[in-house]
Chain A
């Protein structure tokens, strides 16, 4: 080991690559733990993780780059492109010094074809024979030494799950980054591999030959009684009715759990930030700085952190489900339904998650392989009725259902959710026929074996996602909150009440100016202010309307609930703001409109351009406006108007 002699040398960088479902990420997590960060590879939306591994001997530190799992290096998909570019050293900033090829020892024949493609690159290599704990237990298991001779590089049997063989892997990695790797070494290795232009058939026969040589005693696959059981489970879980019903139940349970469990920390966060804002106010002299700190920055940070419990829980539970092997079956089962709308099975989970919150929904579109389909899913995700719409629904449906039978409110809630989902699916269909036209990708997906999910992995995924969210979306949301505070706090109207401040501010002036545009929907200037402020975050609507109504009414606000106050709000001419037609129009508008700047920020991040958030915003606002106008006209014609 020569760690001391070249201390000035930068940390050796090792590219970790392999087929999907080889336990590559488990091995990576085992090596790096929390010393890893998620990063987008330059020039792509593909994400990988970069971590440091402290090895007990030799190089104290190695940098590992976890490349996305890919079935082949020659196919034209983003993951394969990233792997290829990385191995060729054309990925800026991530030129590797060596590669670690992770193979699934229980599925050698297929994995070797990938290994042959990877080993053809001019980089020193170590092959990790993962899942060794399972493979070793089988009769006629592969001989690592023979495999090493056949591949021309060290082969180390390891198990990412149990940690077996990691010490040997350390030694192999240390040795390989220190040894010079010249052209002759590459030539020696290439002679053992199939030619560079080998067809898949040649690769397959080479892999077959190597497998036979390395595991000569392997028995022909005997009929395994467990296979038959797994078959039955697979048949049930992918059945057109049973499978979809099981999926719906699983997801219903998942979201109930998220709603129930997340509401506790969310309330707590709300409380803590409310108290913090009060504390800031009481600790500082009254004035602009106190306002900025309390209403802008503290409230802004609170507005970011409040999303964290839902995001963490969703990713934690989804990671457990994915790890168990169930999620792949579910995606396969719903594929045939989604296909009718130009989407496919993998889009379903993101869309479902968006009913809790569009942010984690959009972030989880990374499961979708097809770029166009992924964009279509991101585009329509905000149509799903998220939990932030719920307070608005409660307010408006409350107003609408005064004097109506008891079932009316329930039906209205269901209608709101259905309207959002239908609008989303039809938009997806439209997008796939126009902007994102492309062949529906025929679905061929690997269904990984069922296993007990690894808690450690799920926790690491959650930690990772939370950091990504805070780092990227968080900063944007905070900035927006400060801008929003500024808009409603300036110009200062000293000594007047909240309502005057609201009306005189830039936001209020904007509302006044925009009122004619919203007149066809039956909105007056107060409601327009409410709608405009809620373009930043829709949950603001209730508090804005509360402020406007509370300040405007003569009665003591403490006597009445916010709902009653808002319902009784008068227009300038004395008639109520919320006649049934206006309330219906506002409700439809809130179901369909894109009123969430954080979502636009995440869309921008996930798509890598402002084009998609712009389209999303424009289209959703247009649909919401037209539908609200129609709702207003219909309810009015039906006799509900003022």
Chain B
């Protein structure tokens, strides 16, 4: 992948921009890369790659990705299509699948649909802007607002979450737009 190729295809954030951001801002955690033009806050595909870039930077090497841009984009398309039907499993070559400790690592924003059952997370509603106004207000009024804490009762898309004592059923299109920062691992945590 060349410096001008896009890592975050949703927000068209190039590798060069990310390299410069890492150099200039020296973020302590990978999730802070989202401050670089919103990288990783769209479909969520590039999140593991952003983490790899951050890790390389912390290790002192020049952040780089050896995937070819074509292959990278093709796999993302597959990921998005699979997520629409809830069938996608990241291949074992995928950094997220190969490293269980990082899946999904705390303090990284991911779509709500990627959480596991029982996992708790902090909500970020900033991606809901393209929902109809009425639905957004309804979600807020039901308790789903920025910085509230939720617990996943039934994972995936559609999903069921619990906020305080309220259980909400959320259809796939809304659940994908809700970004969350996991705060603890769910009940599948290895002993």
Contacts and interface: CB of A to CB of B under 8 A. Distances in A.
A200 B167 contact: no
Interface in A32-77: 71-72, 74-77
Contacts of A71: 138, 141-142
A234 B132 contact: no
A447 to B, nearest CB: 4
B158 A110 contact: no
A329 B139 CA distance: 18
Interface stretch (A225-233, A252-260, A306-314, A487-495): A225-233
A446 B160 contact: no
A339 B174 CA distance: 14
A445 B168 contact: yes
B173 interface: yes
A101 to B, nearest CB: 15
Chain B residues touching A, range? 35 or more
A114 interface: yes
Contact of A441 (B133, B135, B141, B170): B135
B138 A75 contact: yes
Interface string A71-94: 110111100000000000000000
A258 to B, nearest CB: 27
Contacts of A443: 158, 169-171, 174
Contacts of A201: 145-146
B143 A110 contact: yes
A553 interface: no
B169 A106 contact: no
Interface string A184-228: 000000000000000011001000000000000000010000011
Given A107-B166, A332-B158, A335-B158, A231 B141 contact: no
Interface residues of A, number: 40
A107 B164 contact: yes
Interface in B160-191: 160, 162-174, 187
A287 interface: no
Contacts of B62: none
A109 B158 CA distance: 25
A476 B32 CA distance: 67
A444 B139 contact: yes
Interface string A596-639: 00000000000000000000000000000000000000000000
Contacts of A335: 158, 171
B118 interface: yes
Nearest to A104: B165
B134 interface: yes
Given A72-B138, A107-B166, A332-B158, A231 B153 contact: yes
B29 interface: no
Contacts of B138: 71-72, 75, 77, 444
B131 interface: yes
A204 B145 contact: yes
A439 B158 CA distance: 18
A479 to B, nearest CB: 40
Contacts of A74: 137
A414 B152 CA distance: 41
A446 B164 CA distance: 12
A445 B168 CA distance: 6
B12 interface: no
A238 interface: yes
B148 interface: yes
Contacts of B166: 107, 110, 446
A238 B154 contact: yes
Given A77-B138, A238-B154, A332-B158, A447 B118 contact: no
A235 B137 contact: no
Contacts of A109: 143, 164
A338 B161 CA distance: 22
Given A71-B138, A75-B137, A75-B138, A231 B118 contact: yes
Contacts of B139: 444
B117 interface: yes
- Among B144, B167, B170, find the residue whose CB has the most chain A CB atoms closer than 10 A: B167
Contact of A328 (B144, B162, B169): B169
A444 B118 contact: no
B122 to A, nearest CB: 13
B141 A200 contact: yes
Interface string A430-453: 000000000101111111110000
A234 B162 CA distance: 12
A526 interface: no
Contacts of B26: none
A336 interface: yes
A550 to B, nearest CB: 56
A113 interface: yes
- Among A76, A200, A230, find the residue whose CB has the most chain B CB atoms closer than 10 A: A200
B140 interface: yes
Contacts of A231: 117-118, 153-154, 160
B169 A228 contact: no
A72 B141 contact: yes
A68 to B, nearest CB: 14
Nearest to B173: A442
Nearest to A204: B145
Contacts of B134: 75-77
Contacts of A227: 151, 153, 162
B91 to A, nearest CB: 24
Given A74-B137, A441-B135, A107 B165 contact: yes
Contact of B135 (A234, A238, A442): A442
Contacts of A339: 171
A236 to B, nearest CB: 9
Contacts of B173: 442
Contacts of A448: 167
Contacts of B162: 227
A512 to B, nearest CB: 55
B164 A447 contact: no
Given A110-B141, A238-B154, 6 more contacts: A227-B153, A235-B154, A443-B169, A443-B170, A446-B142, A447-B169
Interface of B: 117-118, 131-135, 137-146, 148, 151, 153-154, 158, 160, 162-174, 187
11 contacts: A72-B141, A106-B165, A204-B145, A227-B151, A227-B162, A230-B167, A234-B153, A235-B117, A441-B132, A443-B174, A447-B169
Interface of A: 71-72, 74-77, 104, 106-107, 109-110, 113-114, 200-201, 204, 221, 227-228, 230-231, 234-235, 238, 328-329, 332, 335-336, 339, 439, 441-449
The 8 A-B pairs with the shortest beta carbon distances in the complex, nearest first, are A72-B141, A71-B141, A200-B140, A443-B171, A332-B169, A447-B167, A75-B137, A110-B143
